[in-house]
Chain A
């Protein structure tokens, strides 16, 4: 379909409507209605209130509440919002060194079985006490205070605790339900405690001699 060149000239604004012949004026009127409809359509790709919403968001981000509560909220928002951080190479290297050092501490403290970060050795204490409500550990390593609590997370009656001890020989006992002092039935050695009972003995070899 081809358009009459005079109508095209009118659409280009180079002719007045009155300059068109009568047979083209009716079609020019149709074009006028169509163009008016197009002008009323929203702009493609943007919601009608997009500009208003963007401006509201910008105001929320930049305008701070001067009250203490407002500052606290701003600080919290700052912590949780992801944002790009620019670091100088020197600072980035320092951060990496610190992270590496802290990582080494974690590995030597928890990931390597049996060794603590400060050269002590982790010892696992176990006792089967199905009827116990609580089990604690006391020994010469904690001035005989029953302050190390054993746990039984799967409730099978076997209580355990992992304790970092210096190398050497240590005496200890379990304390059941806060009152009943009991030696470790699985200990390899025992020693009279001087009070009419016997302590269990654990021998911890130095790290370089295990």
Chain B
């Protein structure tokens, strides 16, 4: 066998293993920003101004950029898009003031979402203090907001979520708690007792 064939073996092996090693990085890659696509110059300038102003208040610009992309993908344009981004930026700035400078973007979004759904600011602050781990606080705040939406009083909702987190409920299992409470309420149960029944059932 000639030398070039032997030399080809390690080259091919390197290509195969190199491709395997870089695959996760390619999966993780995200599409480029689309701020200017399909927007008038005025709208683009206005959105840039909103994003820059929020950034000065400690809001990561990629959060607002992502919301712009969401609106664009859903066909929202012009003043309607500007108003939605402006409102979202305001909520994120408020959440930053509430949650502090050191929380991650995901926690910031969760805090803004919880405030939007009526979770009182002091409850959000207390919840974040009790749950510094973002894997607990992000989904916990979401369920907190769900329970409040369902009519569970804020104090009981906070205790229920904290108790469920302490028992190891995470991810979809924690989301399932609020879904089950809503089903009980829809069947006519009182919100507080519906929550208690679900928590007792998960002991």
* Chain A residues proximal to chain B, CB less than 8 Å: 75, 78, 83, 98, 102, 105, 116-118, 138, 140, 142-147, 164, 167-169, 181, 188-189, 191-195, 197, 201-206, 209-210
Contacts and interface: CB of A to CB of B under 8 A. Distances in A.
Contacts, number: 106
B172 A194 contact: no
Interface in B34-52: 34
Enumerate the 7 nearest inter-chain pairs by beta-carbon distance, A residue then B residue, closest first. A205-B171, A205-B170, A188-B175, A144-B70, A118-B24, A144-B73, A188-B179
Given A188-B178, A192-B116, A145 B139 contact: no
Contact of B142 (A116, A194, A201): A201
Contacts of A188: 172, 175-176, 178-179
A206 B135 CA distance: 7
B174 to A, nearest CB: 7
Contact of B135 (A146, A168, A191): A168
B17 A98 contact: yes
Interface residues of B, number: 47
Contact of B106 (A102, A169, A181, A206): A169
Nearest to B109: A169
Interface in B7-43: 13, 17, 20, 24, 27-28, 30-31, 33-34
Contacts of B143: 189
B171 A210 contact: yes
B142 A197 contact: no
Interface stretch (B80-88, B153-161, B195-203): B80-88
Contact of A194 (B20, B28, B67): B67
A117 B135 CA distance: 20
B71 interface: yes
A120 to B, nearest CB: 8
A105 B20 CA distance: 9
16 contacts: A78-B5, A102-B17, A116-B24, A118-B24, A118-B27, A138-B73, A143-B66, A145-B31, A167-B135, A188-B175, A189-B142, A189-B179, A191-B113, A193-B74, A205-B170, A205-B171
